[in-house]
Amino acid sequence: MNLRDIHTPVLLERCVELLAPALQRDGAVLVDATLGMGGHSEAFLERFPGIRLIGLDRDQDALRIAWERLAPFGDRVTLVHTVYDGIADAVSSTGLHSADGILFDLGVSSLQLDEADRGFAYAQDAPLDMRMDQSIGTTAADVLATYSEGQLRRIFERYGEEKLSGRYARAIIEARGQAPILRSGRLVEILQAATPHAVKGAGHPAKRVFQALRIEVNSELSVLERAIPAALGILPVGGRIVVMSYQSLEDRLVKRELADASASTAPAGLPVELPEHAPRFRLLVKGAELASPEEIARNPRATPVRLRAAERIREAA
């Protein structure tokens, strides 16, 4: 299996460009907080021969594949099985207390999408698992079997921004009364049957529901809400963070956290900004950057990406 053929890192050159100023010194530390199959990490290790990499992932299959890919870099690489809100503890477990560069490539990985039996992809019939770490936690099938109609409606609305959330929740409750919903193909059938004919041409009816279930199963937004402040907290002055999001809920959360970190905390009406009120970070890109049409043509999974980045410019008060 040639990982370079099956896995194309998204916005690789832009990530390198943005993080490079923080990684020039020997011994600089890069944290890849969403290691996946190690594509971004491999490129950074090749291009910056003096850096040390700490790679995090909750998916043990991903860690095994990444370790095989990154083994040639020897003791420059440390891999940690953890969810990325554990970034500070993961770094301190290596004897360090800061990281010069941090990369987040959020969402479901190529490995998880391409392995049909993980249940992430609505286009393939598979057991409804959706756990990024298959060693622990509740599966999507468990959610469908135990949540009330109101709970299902809430997660479809909140995490999928699904306008037909109530209709879909009712259909699932009715269907599970006849037989457990254990496979993705069965869930797709239920959703298709519950979709009004007038909106059947407006995208696949399962897309938002599957996204909502995945976010619920893996607590993705609550984890991210803890992870970004934790990551910012371990960056020294000159340290940089790059975050790539693939859906609007993630991107809005990242935008808010970086905006707060890069804003003055001076009270309104204060005639002079005191040093302790000055922004701790500066934004490195205007708004959210997108993949180019050329990259999307090469790698369609780059289509929804939204990239944001920031640099620490002063220590915390």
How far apart are alpha carbons 4 and 40 in whole angstroms?
11
The response to whether 38 counts as a known ligand-binding position is: yes
Ligand-binding annotation for 95, yes or no, is no
Instruction: Tally DSSP H helices, then E strands, for the chain.
Output: 14, 7
How far out from the chain centre does Cα 259 lie?
A: 19
Q: Which runs of E-coded beta strand occur in the chain?
A: 29-32, 52-57, 77-81, 101-105, 240-245, 281-283, 306-312
Q: Please name which of 248, 250, 290, 251 lies closest in space to residue 11, comparing C-alpha atoms.
A: 290
Which residue, 149, 57, 73, is CA-closest to 109? 57
Output the CA torsion sign for 260, 263, 264, 267: negative
269 is in an annotated binding site: no
246 is an annotated ligand-binding site residue = no
| End-to-end Cα spacing for the chain | 50
61 in a known ligand binding site: no
**40 labelled ligand-binding:** yes
- Residue 147 is assigned to a ligand binding site: no
Among 104, 99, 106, smallest CA distance to 233 is for 99
Numbered residues of the known binding site for S-adenosyl-L-methionine = 38-40, 57, 84, 105, 112
Query: Which residues contribute to the annotated binding site?
Result: 38-40, 57, 84, 105, 112
